[in-house]
């Protein structure tokens, strides 16, 4: 059992949690503003792909990160145009984002690299060495391996929490998700706020995708997000659309996956595939028990039009 909770497992847990955290925070912004976003998966793939293309083309992983954020924002822009500007159905439109995101990135792999399935290795984001921290006993190994994007996830969670729950702008954003009519009456430009929130969720999901391709493995592979965009939805459900609990849910999912990976190595009786299904099952249990109707933003899924 000790072997299952070593520093290495902790580190791999962080590496598995961070790519969940970005889309979860993006989804939180978007859904708090009243737009249901099941398109995070497609947005992540857009980011993962664009990041690798840019890193491949320029040799700089940072260019890749920028490209990933832009590509994610672009997919968010597409979703926002359909759901906010023209008031189309949110779930149907987000399904389109997922289908196009998965299909287009996979179809473009042979176009860019001439091979099917996966890109060649590209320059990765280097670890951020903070003097002092990586020299610490035991936990130093963790700090020695983290990148600025890992630290950024923690800071971003804090920033999103502060923004959504402690600022006037955040209050307006939540008003758009709870009662857009009242927000509108109070002078909040509901659809502009929603549009911005959807684009921001795309940018963050794109960054989460780039984490997978530019930090974790250093290449793009078709379908490499493996449902993490949906897992982020589960984290939102668990966290009842609040930052702290959703953050904890992401960490828990990451650690669970790390333990699952580890248990495969040291041959424990529970099959790896079943452990991977666990977060989804737990999300279902949560929905069936303690996450009630009242948890989700009240106006989620409803296009806003002035009557």
Q: Does 78 bind other proteins (CB under 8 A)?
A: yes
Q: Does 287 bind other proteins (CB under 8 A)?
A: yes
User: Residue 143 or residue 238: which is nearer to other proteins going by CB?
Assistant: 238
CA dihedral over 168, 169, 173, 176, signed as positive or negative: positive
| Binding residues with other proteins: total (CB under 8 A) | 56
Q: Does 293 bind other proteins (CB under 8 A)?
A: yes
Q: Which window, 54-62, 83-91, 136-144, 209-217, contacts other proteins (CB under 8 A)?
A: 83-91
Q: Considering only residues 200 through 229, tell me which ones interact with other proteins, judged by CB under 8 A.
A: 222, 227
Q: Give the tokens for residue 69.
A: 């954020």
d(C-alpha 97, C-alpha 37), whole Å: 10
Q: Per-residue x/- mask for other proteins, residues 231 to 260, rule CB under 8 A? A: x-xx--x-----------------------
What are the Cα distances from residue 124, in Å, to 65, 137, 218, 219, 228?
Answer: 10, 27, 5, 8, 20
Three-state SS sequence of 34-71? CCCCCCHHHHHHHHHHHHHHHHHHHCCHHHHHHHHHHH
Q: Does 273 bind other proteins (CB under 8 A)?
A: yes
For residue 212, the minimal CB distance to other proteins (Å) is 17
Element (H, E) at 165: helix 148-166
d(C-alpha 128, C-alpha 155), whole Å: 15
Three-state DSSP class for 184? helix
Q: Does 126 bind other proteins (CB under 8 A)?
A: no
Give the footprint of other proteins on this chain (CB under 8 A): 36, 38, 78, 81-83, 85-89, 91-93, 95-104, 106-111, 116, 222, 227, 230-231, 233-234, 237, 271-274, 276-277, 280-281, 283-284, 287-288, 292-293, 296, 300-302
């Amino acid at each position: 059992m000790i072997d299952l909770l070593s520093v290495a497992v902790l580190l791999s847990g962080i590496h598995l949690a961070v790519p969940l955290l970005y889309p979860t925070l993006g989804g939180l912004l978007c859904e708090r503003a009243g737009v249901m976003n099941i398109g995070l998966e497609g947005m992540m793939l857009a980011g993962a792909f664009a990041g690798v293309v840019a890193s491949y083309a320029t040799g700089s992983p940072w260019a890749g990160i920028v490209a990933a954020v832009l590509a994610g924002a672009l997919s968010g822009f597409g979703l926002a145009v359909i759901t906010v500007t023209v008031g189309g159905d949110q779930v149907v439109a987000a399904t389109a984002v997922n289908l196009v995101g998965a299909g287009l990135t996979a179809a473009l792999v042979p176009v860019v690299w001439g091979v099917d399935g996966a890109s060649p290795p590209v320059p990765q984001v280097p670890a951020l060495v903070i003097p002092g921290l990586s020299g610490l006993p035991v936990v130093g190994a963790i700090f020695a391996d983290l990148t600025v994007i890992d630290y950024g996830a923690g800071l971003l969670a804090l920033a999103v929490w502060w923004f959504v729950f402690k600022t006037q702008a955040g209050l307006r954003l939540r008003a758009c998700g709870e009662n857009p009519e009242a927000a509108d009456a109070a002078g909040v430009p509901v659809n502009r706020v929603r549009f911005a929130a959807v684009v921001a969720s795309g940018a963050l999901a794109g960054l989460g995708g780039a984490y997978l391709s530019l930090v974790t493995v250093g290449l793009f592979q078709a379908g490499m997000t493996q449902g993490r965009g949906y897992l982020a939805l589960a984290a939102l459900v668990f966290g009842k659309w609040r930052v702290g609990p959703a953050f904890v849910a992401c960490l828990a999912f990451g650690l669970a996956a790390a333990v699952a990976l580890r248990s495969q190595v040291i041959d424990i009786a529970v099959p790896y595939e079943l452990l991977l299904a666990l977060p989804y099952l737990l999300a279902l249990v949560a929905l069936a028990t303690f996450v009630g109707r009242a948890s989700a933003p009240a106006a989620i899924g409803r296009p806003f039009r002035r009557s």
